Copies of this chain bind each other. A is one copy, B any other.
Amino acid sequence: VADATARDLGERDLVAAVCRRLTTGPGVLLGPGDDAAVVAAPDGRVVATTDVLVEGVHFRRDWSSGYDVGRKAAAANLADVAAMGGRGTALLVGLAAPPDLSVSWALALADGLRDEARLVGASVVGGDIVASTEIVVSVTALGDLAGRPPVSRSGAAAGDLVVVAGRLGWSAAGLALLLAGADAGPCVDGHRRPRPPYDLGPLLARLGATAMCDVSDGLLVDLGQIAEASGVGAELELSALPIDGPVQAAADLLGLSARDWVLGGGEDHALLATVPAGTRLPESVVVVGRIVAGPGVRVDGLAELPDAGWEHYR
């Protein structure tokens, strides 16, 4: 059925074919196929978040495979769970897609969701497939805090260090390369399949992170949101920002600024956190600035416009 379309198969057979690709781990008490799934919530609480991807806005089918879109949609949600200090346990997927969608694309999407979920031990437990004119993938992730309080955006205090874990600027560089006609390379791969540092969310929570979020709108914007929610300001030090080799190489190739991608690019789903000064950090966590009393975000002492990141309808 590799070349069949959703219309050829019909909703029920398509759902059945998708379900056959899925596997469920031990935390899934009742998997896909009933009115609802049942998932373990060991500490009596569940973390829950929803992110939506739309074709033409968040992905292009000529640039990303169904598998890539599945990986990316799962990553965006599982990174949100990690940013609370949690670990993803389950995904639910609402897929709206046109009747001429190829079945193989839908199955690859399911494979991508499954494989990204598996990185944290989570499973795809449910969803819905409906007819539409464009592809919309709405993913909900559930997660477990293992008894810890959630790390919100609002707990940063003056004197805290601003730290980053994971990639910055890769997805933005990859997008620029795709727009310029490239179709391979580490940043392009990074755009197609972000690699959030899932394990570092719970680790930063255990280390006493006072605030945390994932970088989905750009470092400056997301740090601005932590600062605003916490009633503080933040100072970033340009020389401390990690500019990875592939990002610098892409900037050199295109004659663009790697720093702009690192400060303004979203979708890598790095983790951005604040921790008390003196916190002993693992090597993969980089100190990029500090929290100050005054409002706003400054880079090397200069005020930055807080709304440089991506915003829908703008």
Interface residues of A in 197-215 (CB under 8 A from B): 212-214
Which B residues are CB-close (under 8 A) to A92? 48-50, 140
Q: A36-B86, A48-B37 are in contact. Are A313 and B99 (CB under 8 A)?
A: yes
Query: In the docked arrangement, what's the CA distance between A300 and B169, Å?
Result: 66
Q: A48-B36, A125-B48 are in contact. Are A30 and B152 (CB under 8 A)?
A: yes
* Contact present for B54 and A131 (CB under 8 Å): yes
* Contact present for A47 and B36 (CB under 8 Å): yes
* Contact present for A41 and B38 (CB under 8 Å): no
Contact of A214 among B35, B46, B134 (CB under 8 A): B35
One digit per residue, 1 when the CB lies within 8 angstroms of any chain B CB and 0 when it does not, for chain A 1-38 equals: 00000110111101000000000000001100111111
Which B residues are CB-close (under 8 A) to A150? 29-30, 34, 36, 38
Contact of A51 among B128, B131, B142, B213 (CB under 8 A): B128
Give the shortest distance, in Å, between A51 (CB) and chain B (any CB). 5
Can you tell how many copies of this chain the complex includes? 2
Which B residues are CB-close (under 8 A) to A14? 313
Contact of A35 among B41, B49, B52, B312 (CB under 8 A): B49
Contact of A84 among B34, B45, B153 (CB under 8 A): B34
Which B residues are CB-close (under 8 A) to A129? 52, 312
Residue of B nearest to A222 (CB): B35
Which B residues are CB-close (under 8 A) to A139? 94
Which B residues are CB-close (under 8 A) to A131? 54, 57, 312-313
**A44 an interface residue at 8 Å Cβ cutoff?**
yes
* Contact present for A52 and B83 (CB under 8 Å): no
Q: A6-B313, A86-B36, A313-B131 are in contact. Are A49 and B126 (CB under 8 A)?
A: yes
Highest count of chain B CB atoms <10 Å: which of A50, A58, A125: A50
Residue of B nearest to A99 (CB): B313
Give the shortest distance, in Å, between A116 (CB) and chain B (any CB). 17
**A287 an interface residue at 8 Å Cβ cutoff?**
no
**A288 an interface residue at 8 Å Cβ cutoff?**
no
**A158 an interface residue at 8 Å Cβ cutoff?**
no
Which B residues are CB-close (under 8 A) to A212? 35
Q: Top 7 A-B pairs ranked by shortest CB distance? A: A94-B138, A138-B138, A41-B41, A36-B49, A11-B312, A52-B94, A140-B140
